[in-house]
Amino acid sequence: MDPRVAQRRYLLLILCSTFLQGSSFVASKVVLTELPPVWLATLRFFVAALSLLPWLWLRHRNRVAGGMAVPITALPWLRLAVIGLLQTAGVMAFLTMGLTQTTASKAAILMASNPLLVALLAGILLKERVRPQTWLGLLLAFAGVVVCIGVQSVMSGAIGHGEVLVMAGSACWAFATLASKRFRLAIDTWTLAFWQMLVGAAALTLLAAWRGEPFVLPTDTAAAFLWLAIPASTGAMGLWFAALHAGGAVRTSGFLFLCPFFAALIAFATGGEMLSTHELLGGVMIAVGIVLLSRTPAAQPAHQAASLENMP
In the chain, where are the structural domains located?
3-130+157-246
Residues 303 and 256: their CA atoms lie apart, in Å, by 26
E strand spans, the chain: none
Residue pair 109/166 in contact (Cβ under 8 Å)? The answer is no
Per-residue confidence (pLDDT) for residue 264, from 0 to 100: 76
Residue pair 211/38 in contact (Cβ under 8 Å)? The answer is yes
Other residues' Cβ atoms within 10 Å of the Cβ of residue 175:
21
| Full-model pTM | 0.76
Residues 111 and 251: their CA atoms lie apart, in Å, by 16
Residues 294 and 309: their CA atoms lie apart, in Å, by 20
Q: Which helix (H) or strand (E) holds 81?
A: helix 77-83
Per-residue confidence (pLDDT) for residue 20, from 0 to 100: 94
Per-residue confidence (pLDDT) for residue 213, from 0 to 100: 92
Per-residue confidence (pLDDT) for residue 311, from 0 to 100: 30
Per-residue confidence (pLDDT) for residue 308, from 0 to 100: 29
Residue ranges of the chain whose pLDDT lies below 50: 299-312
The model's pLDDT over 201-222, given as tens digits with 9 standing for 90+, comes to 999 999 999 999 999 899 999 9
| CA nearest to 107, candidates 268, 259, 287 | 259
